[in-house]
Amino acid sequence: MTINWSGVIPAITTSFNQDYSIDFAFFGEHCRWLADAGCLGLVPCGSLGESATLSTEEKIALIETALHAVGERVPIIPGIASLSTAEAVWLAQAAESAGCHGLMVLPPYVYSTDWREMKAHVEVVMRATNLPILLYNNPPAYKTDFLPEQIAELAQEHTNLVAIKESSSDVRRVTAIRALLGERLEILVGVDDEIVEGIQAGAAGWIAGLVNAFPRESIALFQLAKQVRAGQGDHAQLDALYSWFLPLLRMDTVPKFVQLIKLAQQMVGMGNARVRAPRLELHGAELENAHEIIRYALEHRPGLDIA
Q: Is residue 246 classed as helix, strand or coil in its secondary structure? A: helix
Is 207 annotated in a binding site? The answer is yes
**Which residues are within 8 A (CB) of 296 and not within 5 positions of it... i.e. 6 or more apart?**
247
Q: In what order do the strands lie in the sheet with 161-166?
A: 8-10, 205-208, 186-189, 161-166, 133-137, 103-105, 79-80
Q: How far is CA 239 from the centre of its chain?
A: 23
Question: φ and ψ at 113, to 5 degrees?
Answer: -145, -130
Q: What amino acid occupies position 14?
A: T
By annotation, the residues acting in catalysis are: 136, 165
Fill in the DSSP letter of residue 302.
P
Give yes or no for a contact between 206 and 8, defined as CB atoms under 8 angstroms apart: yes
Backbone dihedral angles phi then psi of residue 145, each to the nearest 5 degrees: -120, 110
Binding residues for pyruvate, by number, are 207
